[in-house]
Structure 1
Amino acid sequence: MKKITLTGFTWLIAFAAIAQNNLITNIPNRKSVSLNGKWQYIVDPYETGFYDYRYKELNENNGGAYWNTDVPANKTELNEHTYQEKNSLNVPGDWNHQDPKFLYYEGTVWYKKSFDYKKSASGKVFLYFGAVNYRADVYLNGKKLGAHKGGFTPFNFEVPANLLKETNNFLVVKVDNKRYADEVPTLNTDWWNYGGITREVKLIEVPDNFIQDYFIQLKRVSPGSIPAKTPEVEGWIKLNRAPASGEKLTVEIPELKLRQQFTASDTITKVHFTLPKIQLWSPETPKLYRVIISSNSDKTEDKIGFRTVEAFGKQVLLNGKPIFMRGISIHGEIPKEIRRAYSKEDAMQLLGEARELGCNMVRLAHYPHDETMTRLADSLGILVWSEIPVYWTINFGSNEVLDKAKAQLNEMITRDHNRASVIIWSVGNETPVSPTRTNFMHSLITEAKKLDQTRMVSAALEVNYSALKNLNEVNDPLGEFVDLVAFNEYLGWYGGLPDKCRTTNWSTPYNKPLFISETGAGAKGGFHADSLTRFSEEFQEWYFKEQVAMFKKMPENFVGLSPWVLNDFRSPKRNNQYQDGWNRKGLYDDQGNKKKAFYILKAYYNQIEKASNSKKK
């Protein structure tokens, strides 16, 4: 095992992956206390509660304001703030949809939750956040626990011993969703900047010595091979600290009557064993096995599917067999309620709509979605592309920005590296070609492959449409480093009309699978006109008819697509009379109605599925 230091953190390189230094995984199956519900708030656009009048950060040692208490010690104490029941927000939830005054708000909001807590056993307590957009500064009973940047990935802080009280705990989170040029994402995006504590908050109870993380996946087989009937697992188990001498770690899969024991060798211990004959996970048979991992003092359970995935030559192989990805891109938003998606019910709605379209794959754009999405995709048998928000105009020349992108990449992969549904880690979308950008993105690809060698790594590339009449070549230099050459094309929407597809051919100089990561056209639901009228359902329908005809003559390395997009979604960039603050490229409109183009894509997917089933027979 090798230790390296990066930006103040120590990372352990071990076997198939690098485990994140402090993130606890498998949160849904840990012992926990929910802190969801009503939280009081104070809007603070000048950050008065964070800085003194000399613009220095306040803390518990210099009269720190909002995080200590809002109850004066006596009637003479000056107190210029208070949390009130009339000012409350639901957690999880973005603030934008909860009160009209927050619609476009970008700035600081202080959240406060008072709660009682009785610890059920000895051990450690961690405060866990599914996501906060964008920066969170967290204070408990006057103590700052820490800060986190990144609006779509989880984080946790250990609560110091004896800090929690049985009654009247005072938890405060400073949430700041302002956009900055040197953040990830940067200033310019094409989606709504939902602020707030957007995912769940929990107190996690674990023993003093606990299982922090694990990686239980099939060992990579020889390129192009079908997994053996009794495949091998190669992975690791991470403890929160060095084990006791001779400590045993156990992996059990009751359904397979499997029990394997290992002597813990260090904080991270390699595990390697052979499974009895198993049912491999796939969209047709999304089999999940109950897996129990235990140490001398801790036990955690998960449901894990076993499968292999790789880009091999011109194909994508799932369990050694070619697969065509019938995909759709999805934003983490519930359009009818104009809010950020976060719950299992939300995931059921979004993935249910994708299944109705005939999809076996979804691209979760342009950031990691809530964990309920990937866990539900596991059980439904839906393949997943998961992405970090390296989007458009990131400052590619900044090492600091690169570190921020790597941190989000690490948190995304750490959370979901045991999800069978996730087959592609994406390091970005539509980044402009330059040597500096390519080096930046190549560094992220290298990092992703260190973190996880069992999945494909890609990015959604832009297309420079050729001056040649009949040929467009996807020749982004990043194509040399990705496993899957994915590109966004809008032939007939941005430039020309849809019939341009009839004379267009596609190619790439890279001997790799080719995937269309976006294609689409805008249409206002219920607006009908002739097919030449922009933003009519008929124009979008025509667009997809021409696209489908083009798909049918794509080169042999064409392995799938994820059109843009499942639902209309909010975007402040879109402001003509048909858009009115919405990106209208959805196949469902903002009220959940199917547009005419929905049926064109669905028919194409049904045709592909029938052809695939016929081949299997």
Structure 2
Amino acid sequence: MRKAIFCLLLLVSNIPASAQEDLIINVDARTTTSLNGTWSYIIDPYETGFYDYRYKERRENDPEAYWNRPVTRNRWDRVEHGYGDKYTLQVPGDWNSQAEVFKYYEGSVWYQREFDLKELPENKRVFLHFGAVNYEAHVYLNGKKLGSHKGGFTPFNFEIPVGLLEKENNFLVVKVDNKRHPQEIPTVNTDWWNFGGITRDVNLITVPQSFVQQYALQLAKNQEVNTTKDQYELRGHVKLNQLSTAGNLTVEIPELKVKQQFKISGDSLSFSLNAKNLELWSPQHPRLYEVILSYNGEQIEDKIGFRKIETQGKDILLNGKKIFLRGISIHEEIPQQMRRAHSKEDAMQLFGYVKDLNANMVRLAHYPHNPNMTKVADSLGLLVWSEIPVYWTIDFENEEVVKKAKKQLREMIIRDRNRASVIIWSVGNETPVSPVRTSFMKSLITEARAIDNSRLISAALEVGNENGVFRIDDPLGEFTDIVAVNEYLGWYGGLPGDAKTAKWEVVYDKPLFFSETGAGAKSGFFGDKETRWSEDYQEWYYQEQVKMMQRMPDNFSGLSPWILMDFRSPRRNHPNYQEGWNRKGLIDNEGNKKKAFFVLQEYYGSIE
């Protein structure tokens, strides 16, 4: 009977229960101990610390394993590894930007640090949480392996067994490996820098024995929204870390005078609330409310906005009104310092450029960015396209690759489904059309909707050009909510002036979105408009693109040109114009705006 009631609750909620995941969300609202800062390291290209000379994984207590503390009791003892102050890295941060020896390095690096605790937690559970590690992480504490994780852009955590933590001199080691492999997500071939390392925050989380692991709260899906309405139904879902025979969850939104208690029996609860005087979140009015969840002595606070995103025929609607997405694509990179972005200050820098562009939307390419990006987007009123790195030609026939892609998709959605700014989950970029690929991608779309059916689902598709006619008929478009395509007419083929006669045909009665368009330019290099790599050529490209956009069919709903800033890429090797940089940025790697920036800025400024 209890099971039947639980299933009924899921049916009435627009927030389906996810698969059983152990990810703890909203780490900032928990009781935490930061392990950011200075870590020692060992570069290990042969993985000597992991495998013995027969290439077998070392035993747990092997003194030559790099996860064990190197100890010498006698002067004749042999030890061939060690950690110290001579070789250190800052966490969070990529290793490539911190020392010249790492610039092009791909392989294994052992991170190590010691930490003390003011007191050992009693009758509490303790987890070690990583915001992201690129790409494969093996985590050890005091000589014991806690677990491993694959995926360079999503969070994960491991519970620390009772009795393993010490009050002093805890010895934490993380083996990080960013080598590329054909059966991974992404695969061996990408167009961005493969920054390795512990790139996001590391925290110890202390929680009660039974606690709220995940939650989601948003507008009930099937209700009308408008500017005059001020009472809405909110629906939520909470997942505990374990079964509970009896417990109470309190949900409070102080500004709305909402405070309601619910009984939990089992490990999940779906619920609904009525909220009066609710102001909807939008780019013009990014209204966030403090939401407080209380359970078993723990109080979790979050800032959540409430809005509705949907499609209606050929239009995208936000809060019931048609919206045009004035977007720009962004990599998670601070080019002035040639490093991964990770902090709130980094997010403010990048989004400051976005706001200056008169944009209202960002495509976070081609992987989930750090949580500071989506939180700051919430506060600034920027709409977000968030994507997993199913990129180009991955192994679509491999069932294990499908599982890895789904896992990264779940981790992205579970982390950010309370962020009002995120309106689009993307399942991939420029994947080649074939039946097996379409089946692969369709399974990801199904997975995304099963976890969160309140947002739009898309993928960046490619489009062919036959005698100036662009026909969008990728079979994946049948399953996405919007049809998004990457086009580079005038850069990869033809000249920018060819856009004057381009015709567009879409076989789907859905909103059309240009997920990429752009041209490269070396900042400070000028010539006539037909001189490739000049700022003048890039300016001409954008001028012609804007004219083409202005005469697009009525289903044209927005664009996110490629890209905001120049970014590092080993694929880009022209000695004069690229030098390891993709130069399609509207802003160069020193923060200078190119001429094309102002073309797009003016176009966006002319659109409501």
Q: TM-score, normalised by structure 1?
A: 0.95
Deviation per CA, 1:253-310: give whole Å up to 9, x if none. Answer: 0011111111113211011121112110000000000000111332211000000101
Amino acid at match of 1:405: A
Amino acid at match of 1:35: L
Q: Which residue of 1 aligns with 2:36?
A: 36
Alignment of 1:134-149 (within 5 A): 134-149=135-150
Q: Is the 8 A contact 2:230 2:279 kept in 1?
A: no
Amino acid at match of 1:230: Q
SS class of match (2:423): strand
Amino acid at match of 2:581: W
Unaligned 5+ runs, structure 2: none
SS class of match (1:454): coil
Q: Which residue of 2 aligns with 1:520?
A: 518
Q: Which residue of 2 aligns with 1:96?
A: 96
Q: Which residue of 2 aligns with 1:485?
A: 483
Q: Is the 8 A contact 2:25 2:213 kept in 1?
A: yes
| Cα separation, 2, equivalents of 1:263 and 1:490 | 55
Amino acid at match of 2:582: N
Alignment of 1:418-437 (within 5 A): 418-437=418-437
Q: Which residue of 2 aligns with 1:392?
A: 392
Amino acid at match of 1:105: Y
Q: Which residue of 1 aligns with 2:600?
A: 601
Q: Which residue of 2 aligns with 1:318?
A: 318
| Cα separation, 2, equivalents of 1:408 and 1:74 | 48
Q: TM-score, normalised by structure 2?
A: 0.96
Q: Is the 8 A contact 1:567 1:590 kept in 2?
A: yes
Q: Give the superposition deviation at 1:64.
A: 5.7
Residue 301 of structure 1 pairs with residue 301 of structure 2: yes
Select which of 524, 537, 540 maps to 1:539.
537
Alignment of 1:21-100 (within 5 A): 21-63=21-63, 65-100=65-100
Q: Using the TM superposition, name which of 536-545 and 161-170 deviates more.
A: 161-170
Q: Is the 8 A contact 1:457 1:482 kept in 2?
A: yes
Q: Which residue of 2 aligns with 1:585?
A: 584
Alignment of 1:153-552 (within 5 A): 153-221=154-222, 228-245=229-246, 247-467=247-467, 469=468, 471-552=469-550
Amino acid at match of 1:394: I
Q: Using the TM superposition, name which of 110-119 and 100-109 deviates more.
A: 110-119
Amino acid at match of 1:486: A
Deviation per CA, 1:469-525: give whole Å up to 9, x if none. Answer: 4x2111110000000100000011010000111001212111100000000000000
Deviation per CA, 1:304-332: give whole Å up to 9, x if none. Answer: 00001012211111111111010000000
| Cα separation, 2, equivalents of 1:452 and 1:584 | 36
Amino acid at match of 2:194: N
SS class of match (1:243): strand
Sort the Cα spacing of 1:53 and 1:496 in 2 relative to 1 into closer, same or farther, 3 A. same
Q: Is the 8 A contact 1:133 1:194 kept in 2?
A: yes
Q: Which residue of 2 aligns with 1:567?
A: 565
Q: Which residue of 2 aligns with 1:124?
A: 125
Q: Is the 8 A contact 1:221 1:227 kept in 2?
A: no
Q: Using the TM superposition, name which of 309-318 and 171-180 deviates more.
A: 309-318
SS class of match (1:346): helix
Q: Is the 8 A contact 2:397 2:436 kept in 1?
A: yes
Q: Using the TM superposition, name which of 232-241 and 577-586 deviates more.
A: 232-241
Q: Which residue of 2 aligns with 1:615?
A: none
| Cα separation, 2, equivalents of 1:261 and 1:45 | 55
SS class of match (2:266): coil
Q: Give the superposition deviation at 1:589.
A: 0.3
Residue 150 of structure 1 pairs with residue 151 of structure 2: yes
Sort the Cα spacing of 1:411 and 1:240 in 2 relative to 1 into closer, same or farther, 3 A. same
Q: Give the superposition deviation at 1:55.
A: 1.1
Alignment of 1:5-16 (within 5 A): 15=13, 16=15
Sort the Cα spacing of 1:224 and 1:550 in 2 relative to 1 into closer, same or farther, 3 A. farther
| Cα separation, 2, equivalents of 1:332 and 1:118 | 35
| Cα separation, 1, equivalents of 2:563 and 2:290 | 34
SS class of match (1:263): strand
Q: Give the superposition deviation at 1:234.
A: 1.4
Q: Is the 8 A contact 2:571 2:580 kept in 1?
A: yes
Amino acid at match of 1:207: P
Q: Is the 8 A contact 1:364 1:384 kept in 2?
A: yes
| Cα separation, 2, equivalents of 1:316 and 1:165 | 54
| Cα separation, 1, equivalents of 2:558 and 2:52 | 55
Amino acid at match of 1:511: D
Amino acid at match of 1:38: T
Amino acid at match of 1:417: R
Unaligned 5+ runs, structure 1: 4-11, 613-617
CA RMSD of aligned residues (A): 1.7
Q: Give the superposition deviation at 1:225.
A: 7.9
Q: Which residue of 2 aligns with 1:8?
A: none
Q: Give the superposition deviation at 1:71.
A: 2.4
Paired residues, what number?
Answer: 598
Q: Identity of aligned pairs, percent?
A: 61
Q: Using the TM superposition, name which of 550-559 and 76-85 deviates more.
A: 76-85
| Cα separation, 1, equivalents of 2:482 and 2:511 | 5
| Cα separation, 1, equivalents of 2:17 and 2:331 | 28
Q: Is the 8 A contact 1:198 1:342 kept in 2?
A: yes
Q: Is the 8 A contact 2:61 2:143 kept in 1?
A: no
Residue 18 of structure 1 pairs with residue 17 of structure 2: yes
SS class of match (2:114): strand
| Cα separation, 2, equivalents of 1:410 and 1:603 | 38
| Cα separation, 1, equivalents of 2:3 and 2:58 | 39
| Cα separation, 1, equivalents of 2:119 and 2:531 | 64
Q: Is the 8 A contact 1:226 1:321 kept in 2?
A: no
Q: Give the superposition deviation at 1:213.
A: 0.8
| Cα separation, 2, equivalents of 1:394 and 1:342 | 27
| Cα separation, 2, equivalents of 1:559 and 1:326 | 9
| Cα separation, 1, equivalents of 2:116 and 2:148 | 23
Deviation per CA, 1:353-398: give whole Å up to 9, x if none. Answer: 1111111000000000000000000000000000000000110001
| Cα separation, 1, equivalents of 2:226 and 2:255 | 26
Q: Give the superposition deviation at 1:222.
A: 5.3
Q: Give the superposition deviation at 1:62.
A: 4.6
| Cα separation, 1, equivalents of 2:131 and 2:581 | 27
Amino acid at match of 2:517: T
| Cα separation, 2, equivalents of 1:119 and 1:204 | 14
Sort the Cα spacing of 1:572 and 1:13 in 2 relative to 1 into closer, same or farther, 3 A. farther
Q: Is the 8 A contact 2:62 2:68 kept in 1?
A: no
Amino acid at match of 2:598: Y
Q: Give the superposition deviation at 1:592.
A: 0.3
Q: Give the superposition deviation at 1:205.
A: 1.1
Q: Give the superposition deviation at 1:230.
A: 1.1
| Cα separation, 1, equivalents of 2:541 and 2:375 | 34
Q: Give the superposition deviation at 1:228.
A: 5.0
Q: Give the superposition deviation at 1:229.
A: 2.9
